[in-house]
Amino acid sequence: MRNRTLRALATAVPAAALLLTACGGGSGDDDGVVELRYAFWGSDERAQMTQDMIDTFEAENPGIRVEIDYADFGAYFDRLATSVASGDAPDIMTMGGAYHSEYAGRGALLDLAQVGDVIRTDEIPDDLLAHGTFDEALYAIPTGVVGYAMVANPAVFDQAGLELPDDTAWTWDDFAGLCTEIGTALGDDGYGAQDLTNHNTLSLWARQHGEELYTDDGEVGVSAGTLTDWWDFATGLRDSGCTPSATLSEELASMAAPEQTLIGTNKAGMSLVWSNALEALSTASGEQLELLIPPGESEGEHGMWLGPSMYYTISSGSDHPEEAARLIDFMLNEPAAAEAFLTDRGLPVNPSVREAITDQLTPVQQAEAEYIGRLENALGAPGSPDPVGSTETADIVTRLNSEVLFDRTSPEDAAEQMISEVGTAISQ
């Protein structure tokens, strides 16, 4: 549904751009107060955190009033595409993945150089800022930083009579053996891991094999052979009892809530996740989960990277871009904002702000921070920003993975089909 809406947006935005300039996302009251709309996805809990931050911002900026506009992730981008196409875009829009490239490429986002004197970026690492660029211009600024991680449940390891691995040296073969041992020990009570296949894992696998999911030119960069090797590996995990049957894996693929996952219900020893999921998964499981560096980093090339958890962007049609920029600057660079968010939007992207709130983090959040600190000393080369059209990659991978796990498509055919379908999506 999100992809269909985005394709509709491709034709709607050029005409809507005129409306955006005329209408804008915010307005001004008769009393001279500027009104802004800030849109994001998330739960009621995130909304309350955001409102707490806004209350502090408004107290320091009495001439600005901010209205929040949020929805759950599944509905957010559909709603956003509709509002942008109709000329009613929020002033500040949260983006994820490659959506900022999609919207920037269609003229819906402000080139942030226009408010460069308002938003301070001098303390944000260039590698992270590069993720928010499109056609050599900065349109999106990361809200926070996250890392890909293998989350492990020590209680499940204990149940299986096993110890956690040394994540500074383990290989994918080590993972497969350990995962199978857990699955065998648990029997009908669980698995070694939830199925690992998604576009993030394929990116990691490709980078560890000297390739990239996408090239600097915005084309598919991973080879059919590398993808085939992954799906051969994944079906081996399924057959060994490390990961669930195809039927259960397909069910789990549509259930993303922490309390629905195998790791969150204490029915798996491991799972690949983004580091900022640790607290929600720990809460769901009731256990003290741990973040491990994924397998394969000790052999061949480093594949790990630090990535933005999400992005702040400004509508190109906002009537109040400078005021919108002031709010973004506040969220990025002021400890008072970070005190409201803590790690909810990833660890603060500004290292000084991150350090300022460390003492306020829960033990789980401090574990996230420690993991990011470990990764900063063991990263591969910076990756290229995801190209326009790559928002379809996740759905393509999920669908093809299901075909492979059900043995309806061979790993070789799935690899060729993925390269073809993703190539078509990013070439439009």
Q: Are residues 120 and 202 in the same domain?
A: no
- Regions in the chain scoring below 50 on pLDDT: 1-24
Q: Are residues 134 and 151 in the same domain?
A: no
Q: Quick one: pLDDT at residue 28?
A: 57
Q: Quick one: pLDDT at residue 264?
A: 93
CATH number at residue 396: 3.40.190.10
Q: Are residues 268 and 398 in the same domain?
A: yes
Question: What is the tens place of the pLDDT at every residue in 242-270?
Answer: 999 999 999 998 877 888 999 999 999 99
Q: Are residues 320 and 272 in the same domain?
A: no
Q: CA 345 → CA 227, 327, 340, distances in Å?
A: 31, 15, 11
Q: Are residues 166 and 180 in the same domain?
A: yes
Angle at 107 between CA 106 and CA 110, to 5 degrees: 140
Q: Are residues 164 and 135 in the same domain?
A: no
Q: CA 116 → CA 65, 260, 323, 325, distances in Å?
A: 22, 43, 12, 9
Please choose, from the candidates 266, 244, 241, 240, the residue with its C-alpha nearest in 3D space to the C-alpha of residue 253. Answer: 244
Q: Are residues 40 and 110 in the same domain?
A: yes
In a domain, 354, yes or no: no
Q: Domain range for residue 292?
A: 147-306+384-427
In the chain, how many domains are there? 2
Q: Quick one: pLDDT at residue 195?
A: 96
Q: Are residues 121 and 158 in the same domain?
A: no
pTM reported for the whole predicted model: 0.83
In a domain, 342, yes or no: no
In a domain, 101, yes or no: yes
Task: Strands of 179-257 (E only): list them.
Answer: 191-193
Q: Are residues 259 and 187 in the same domain?
A: yes
In a domain, 343, yes or no: no
Q: Are residues 108 and 30 in the same domain?
A: yes
In a domain, 26, yes or no: yes
Q: Are residues 204 and 99 in the same domain?
A: no
In a domain, 404, yes or no: yes
Taking all residues of the chain, what is their mean pLDDT, rounded to a whole number? 90
In a domain, 395, yes or no: yes
